[in-house]
Structure 1
Amino acid sequence: MSSLTTAPQSFSRPKYRPDIDGMRALAILAVLFFHAYPESLPGGFVGVDIFFVISGYLISSIIFRGLDLGSFSFFDFYARRVRRIFPAVAFVLLGSFVLGFFLLIPYEFEEHLLDESPYAAFFLENWRLYVTTGGYWETATELKPLMHFWSLGVEEQYYIFYPLICYLLWKVSVKRFLACLMVMFFVSFALCLYDTYNDSARAFYSLHSRFWQLLIGGVLAYVELQWPQYKKLMGGAFIREINLNNIFSLVGVLLIVFSLIFFEEGKYFPGWRALFPTIGGLLVIAAGTEAILNKYVFSNKLAVFVGLISYPLYLWHWPFICIARNNLGGELPTGFMMVVLIALSFLMAYLTFTLIERPMRSKKPTWQMILCLVMVLLLVSLGTKTAVRRSELLQHTLFAGMPESVQETLKDLPRSERNDIICTDVFGEGHSVCRSTSDKPSVLFFGDSHNYTMWDVLYNQGELPPFYIVGNGGGLIFDDVFVVSKDKKVNSALHEKTSRVWNAIRSHSEINTIVLRGNWVGNLSSTLISNRYPDIGGKNLIKQLWRDTFAELSWLNKQVIVVLDNISVPFNPLVRCVSSHRIDLKKQSNECWIPFESIDPKEYEIRDFLKAEAQKWDNVTIVDSWDALCDEKGCYLSNDNIPYYKDGNHLSIYGNRLVWDLIKKTVFGK
């Protein structure tokens, strides 16, 4: 009988197959070279699909043999998974923290490593990425050193639910067991097809749309367990068994190779395309150890060795590559540096396998061991995150050793300086920043985070001209417009905050000058809902809203100053353009700039539109931030190791200081 609480005297395990370790080698090398040299192996990401099939087959073999012998133990099963997986995860997380401390700037270290570590440690990274990013192929995803834990999340969630499902089905009806597996397979595959074309990120990351890839290995494991009943169907007089195995192996390898060469990232995946590597992996496993390719290629000693270290190699390779990429400002390492990173990945994988993974396998799993491993993982992930976030000493340590200009750029505005009662009495509470410099200013600076980050420069500058500054991250300046997020949720709170600002503009006649500043080019790609213009969308809606804004402010007899925004770039200039790390892997130059011809055409589109519209109104004036940040060559991102940007679109205190001097002359005449 199986047991829910106690381990059996002997745990039934399938016979070791070296060719499966060789398949693991193929899978991990595909993933590694896809991450290191994406153009040379465009379909290398399907290595994960091969891993899914292998895991499904091996785990199902263990479960089914235990159920068949009446010796299956839930405790033993889960304990072995914890013993096998947790130690290496804890070690890699610690190593990633050390690498990140020296090679990442503080907010990258905190956001990309610390904040992700609890999700990675407890195998929820797949859902974390689904909620917080646009998908596997997004640049934001590729800069997360723990991103690759998404596949471990899928597998571990499978390990949690699958044994219980199998146990219940086996107890209900062994005869219908295979039929039940097939039903689950087709349901999961149908969900995968649906999600691939309706919510591609969910299809890629979720267990329900990947379940069929793991389950197909389980179907093969069940067929092999019942081999005497199926032997006539698979061989017999029709075709000699050894030839069938060779056909299986050859066709399987061809399907995998086809996927590796011809699949491309960003195409609809997994979907029906995932059948190629999945069926390919299944056929190679089904071919058995005597198939020629399995016996002489996949069972080769070198292939088996790489397969044995494939798990720690998978864990280590991405933090090395990704952290170096962050250090280089988003550029993928190349040449000798990439070779070194790959070599380090293999070295750390071998050490992890030899010193941690293999010794742990030899220990008998106990409740005490499992509890200890869980606590270690909690301490490494959540404990480290909490300690760094809450300790002033550790926060200071994060910044220590960095150039002063970088430290100043990365400092957050103190919460006590973000709002004051004079401002919130007029514009309401809840804004990202709502500050005033006198009792009843006549000037209002209104916009999004591009507007209120200017307060980072001004809050401790002493005497200032009289003004309000109000802004909300991700907000718009337009009234009666709703912003729709990537997950198709309407941001009613943001709409309410903007409405309060407009109500104040209309009701406070002493506010006679409105300075509008924001990420205007970013607005063009926002998804909006307008009650006034339900049939207009995209950039046409944005342009109409600008016209309405100018018209209403003119009718209210307000002077309007529109600040044309700084350029946005698809990388972080703070990292790429200045010496911002304790250890910098990149070569430095005295200046970093973008030529005008390389600037996003959308920047010119919105600038030209605003200039043209401003000329139609006597009360509208344009202030161009390019006058402060650009010259005849192009626009500067840094100069003399002084960063003008804190990320790809927000100015640093140094960049904002240049723009403030320009605005101050126009608004206050000094």
Structure 2
Amino acid sequence: MQLMAHPTPAAPTTVQPTPTDRGFRPDIQGLRAIAVMVVVLYHLWPTHLTGGYVGVDVFFVISGFLITGHLWREIETRGTIRLGSFYARRALRLLPAAGLVLVATAVAGYLLLPDDRWADTFKQLVASAAYVQNWVLAGNSVDYLLQNAPDSPVQHFWSLSVEEQFYAFWPLLILVTMRLVRRKQAVVAVLSALLLVSLAYSVYQTGADPKQAYFITPTRVWEFAAGALCALVTVKARAVWGWLGLAAVLASAVLYTKATAFPGYAALLPVLGTAALILARPEGRGSVGRWLSLRPATAIGDISYAVYLWHWPLLLLLPLALEVPLALPAKVAVLAATLLLAWLSTHYFETPLRASRALKVRRWPSLAIAVSLVAAMFAASVQANAELDDRAAEAAASYTSRLDEAGGGCIGAAVFTGTDCAPPFGPGPRMSATLAVKDQSNPEYTACDPTLDTRHVLECSFGPKDAAYRVAVVGDSHATQWLGTLRRLADENRLRVKTYFKMSCPFAEAIRVLPREAKERQDNCTAWQEEVTSRIVDDPEIDYVLVTAYSAAYRFEALPGRPALADQNAAFIGKWQRLLAAGKRVVVLRDTPSMLGKSIPSCVEKEQANLRRCAVARDKALKPDLISAAAAALGDPRVTVMDLSDGLCDAQWCYGFAGDVVVYRDSNHLTWQYAQTLAPAFWQAFVKAAGPLT
């Protein structure tokens, strides 16, 4: 889900200047109200206000306008910018409310969230306190194992992180420019150039990698710069500008969807609309600014920062606390609770702290609050993660002990073949969902599976060199998931294995295409495919090549200079024909069932009393598999297929929990533990597919 952010509300004043004053602008408060309500309503009803995420862009423009205007007035009156005072004021304005929400969310999350959500939640709590949350989410967006991770209750701090990073470098930029060239026009020229460069990069990155582009700071700087220019340039605006600007903001909120490539070009509409609203100024009865200056709008604007801070954790946690689904009554309750908590925390916590003479006169207390908040969240994170690790280790030890003692029994996949088993859910100790989630970061995977950010080939070898079957196992992370099984069979002296894995990169004679992927990663995959092919073809120790892939996730195009692919099957067939020509046999492993995007660890944690809810109908989970269909289309007896679906499904269902073991570590990757329990079935299927030794 795309999340939004916003800057802080203007400091409360006892005497409000007139709308034409260069300082306080009540219409800006009204504009904040529109922006924050657009964001909140989008998160509550995303199918109705499909583009409500543009509220964040409105706030970025407002921040650029207000902060630049303030800095410029300080230059005009003092001839410089007092950086220490500026940062202290920012800390005093932002941190009290943010710290309160982070602490409250940490406590509530610890009590309400399932164990499998805590490792990532604590990581994001620290990132939010340190205002680097946007970079954490940008990293997650390109991490193959985290793209489908559940939302965290502090995920919305990403935009506040962008703002804090803007506040950190913006006064320095203006101050350095003024020191070098003491003219206002020079600052305008520098900001204009920065706007154009950032906008161009935003357009490029949105096309190349939209998930990452949404969060990172460089793609958003131009929006702040647009607001900054509104503070520095003088134009003769008309009232109609305001109405056109409001129409642009609301149109983007209504017409944009999750499918809109954003920010990029699309962000121009809400950004230019906000700039027009700011430049129009609230003068004249016909101006939109007069309406935005009315008390109902400014009242929400006054608490808009707190509204933004509270709404997202309430949206995620309140239904858990009340044990009700997120239906209309719960959504109305979230909205009411958000407004109430925002009003209370603004007037009885945030405002008194900001009005404190001790904090306003001295810089160090405000800066100390900032350091203390980050340190406290870090310490809490370390402690909580230590507890979770202890619990996970304890669960792992208990589970492993039972697995060894049972010697197979009805554990894991054996539940489908054991004569005395009660499929699919056996009694007794159960593998914890926490252990399944920890399995995602298993160092054994990363030791043999490089990411798409490199062309590097990692080769892992294990098993006796004189084993009867000498096998290369090749593919994406759906091949890597069998590493536990392969190691077990190698340890039993049944296989000599060499692995060639690459996350999100299937073994094919074609260009693998993923939606809106950076071309560099696509090229890395293509180069890896060719290097691995050469190694296998030239290796006399390899007799069999076992291939599998998450083939439903990809589309294939012909390599440069090659004829167009006759069909998608040709991508795999072309690679296999090169292996066959080198005297290798090919064994194709049908892909594992898909759980249709359902996070199995979360489901297991939540549905302890009814684990059947973590199952998917077999006919839906076992959709047509491109890689096994390619083997059938080739029709060469040297290319055979092995299918382990019966170790994951019965006649009606494919299970997320079976034989006391969590089957998947997310929605489509097997846990190491469950894959190990499939070793007997894997061996039988492989020997049958490989055929007799010659």
TM range (shorter): 0.7 to 0.9
Q: 2:292 matched to which residue of 1? A: 298
Deviations 1:600-645 (A, max 9, x none): 86x44333222333x421x443221223334444544446986432
Q: 1:162 matched to which residue of 2? A: 170
Deviations 1:493-541 (A, max 9, x none): 966994697278x322xx655544443444x4479x97xx753688968
Q: Residues of 1 paired with 2:269 and 2:670: CA distance?
A: 47
SS at match of 2:62: helix
SS at match of 1:446: strand
Q: CA deviation at 1:85?
A: 1.9
Q: Residues of 2 paired with 1:324 and 1:575: CA distance?
A: 21
CA contact (8 A) 1:252 1:283 kept: yes
Q: 1:563 matched to which residue of 2? A: 589
CA contact (8 A) 1:570 1:648 kept: yes
Q: 2:670 matched to which residue of 1? A: 651
Q: Which runs of 5+ in 1 are unaligned?
A: 1-11, 225-229, 235-243, 421-428
Give the direction of change, closer, same or farther, for the CA distance of 1:321–1:375 in structure 2 (3 Å limit).
same
Give the direction of change, closer, same or farther, for the CA distance of 1:416–1:497 in structure 2 (3 Å limit).
farther
CA contact (8 A) 2:587 2:640 kept: yes
Return the match for 1:612 from 629, 633, 636.
Answer: 633
Q: 2:691 matched to which residue of 1? A: none
Question: Please, what TM-score do these two structures have when normalized by structure 1?
Answer: 0.75
CA contact (8 A) 1:146 1:319 kept: yes
Return the match for 1:133 from 122, 141, 155.
Answer: 141
Give the direction of change, closer, same or farther, for the CA distance of 1:290–1:400 in structure 2 (3 Å limit).
farther
Q: CA deviation at 1:477?
A: 7.4
Q: CA deviation at 1:198?
A: 4.3
Range 649-658 or range 309-318, more displaced: 649-658
**Where does 1:64-463 land on structure 2 (aligned, <5 Å)?**
64-70=72-78, 72-106=81-115, 108-111=117-120, 113-133=121-141, 140=148, 143-170=151-178, 172-174=181-183, 176=185, 179-180=188-189, 183-184=192-193, 187-188=196-197, 191=200, 194-195=203-204, 198-199=207-208, 201=210, 204-223=214-233, 233=236, 244-245=238-239, 247-289=240-282, 291-292=284-285, 297-321=291-315, 333-354=326-347, 356-362=349-355, 363-364=359-360, 366-387=362-383, 391=386, 393-397=387-391, 404-412=431-439, 434-436=461-463, 440=467, 442-444=469-471, 446-448=473-475, 449-456=477-484
Q: Residues of 1 paired with 2:666 and 2:62: CA distance?
A: 41
CA contact (8 A) 1:591 1:638 kept: no
Q: 2:7 matched to which residue of 1? A: none
Give the direction of change, closer, same or farther, for the CA distance of 1:199–1:324 in structure 2 (3 Å limit).
farther
Give the direction of change, closer, same or farther, for the CA distance of 1:38–1:454 in structure 2 (3 Å limit).
same
CA contact (8 A) 1:181 1:215 kept: no
Range 74-83 or range 364-373, more displaced: 364-373
Deviations 1:574-624 (A, max 9, x none): 14643x15xx7x9946354434664586x44333222333x421x443221
Deviations 1:161-188 (A, max 9, x none): 3223333444534453575367347625
Give the direction of change, closer, same or farther, for the CA distance of 1:17–1:400 in structure 2 (3 Å limit).
farther
Q: Residues of 2 paired with 1:319 and 1:253: CA distance?
A: 29
Return the match for 1:19 from 4, 24, 27.
Answer: 27
Range 453-462 or range 199-208, more displaced: 453-462
Return the match for 2:570 from 537, 540, 543.
Answer: 543
CA contact (8 A) 1:516 1:561 kept: yes
Q: Residues of 2 paired with 1:60 and 1:654: CA distance?
A: 56
Q: 1:47 matched to which residue of 2? A: 55
CA contact (8 A) 1:573 1:643 kept: no
Q: Residues of 1 paired with 2:394 and 2:677: CA distance?
A: 27
SS at match of 2:588: strand
Q: How many residues align?
A: 612
AA in 2 matched with 1:507: P
Deviations 1:62-102 (A, max 9, x none): 11221111164221111111222233333433344444445
CA contact (8 A) 2:511 2:556 kept: no
Q: CA deviation at 1:192?
A: 5.7
Q: Residues of 1 paired with 2:153 and 2:546: CA distance?
A: 40
CA contact (8 A) 1:590 1:639 kept: no
Q: 1:36 matched to which residue of 2? A: 44
Q: CA deviation at 1:21?
A: 2.0
Q: CA deviation at 1:287?
A: 4.4
Give the direction of change, closer, same or farther, for the CA distance of 1:365–1:140 in structure 2 (3 Å limit).
farther
Q: Which runs of 5+ in 2 are unaligned?
A: 1-16, 396-428, 448-455, 689-694
Give the direction of change, closer, same or farther, for the CA distance of 1:101–1:162 in structure 2 (3 Å limit).
same
Give the direction of change, closer, same or farther, for the CA distance of 1:104–1:374 in structure 2 (3 Å limit).
same
Q: Residues of 1 paired with 2:484 and 2:566: CA distance?
A: 31
SS at match of 1:590: helix
Q: 2:550 matched to which residue of 1? A: 519
Range 36-45 or range 160-169, more displaced: 160-169
Deviations 1:407-447 (A, max 9, x none): 55345399798899xxxxxxxx9958654379745353724
SS at match of 2:471: strand
AA in 1 matched with 2:230: L
Return the match for 1:474 from 486, 499, 503.
Answer: 503
Q: Residues of 2 paired with 1:78 and 1:124: CA distance?
A: 17
Give the direction of change, closer, same or farther, for the CA distance of 1:304–1:587 in structure 2 (3 Å limit).
farther
Deviations 1:139-197 (A, max 9, x none): 64883544433322332232223223333444534453575367347625752674377
CA contact (8 A) 1:596 1:635 kept: yes
Q: Residues of 2 paired with 1:304 and 1:416: CA distance?
A: 53
Q: Residues of 2 paired with 1:102 and 1:217: CA distance?
A: 41
Question: Please, what TM-score do these two structures have when normalized by structure 2?
Answer: 0.72
SS at match of 1:645: coil
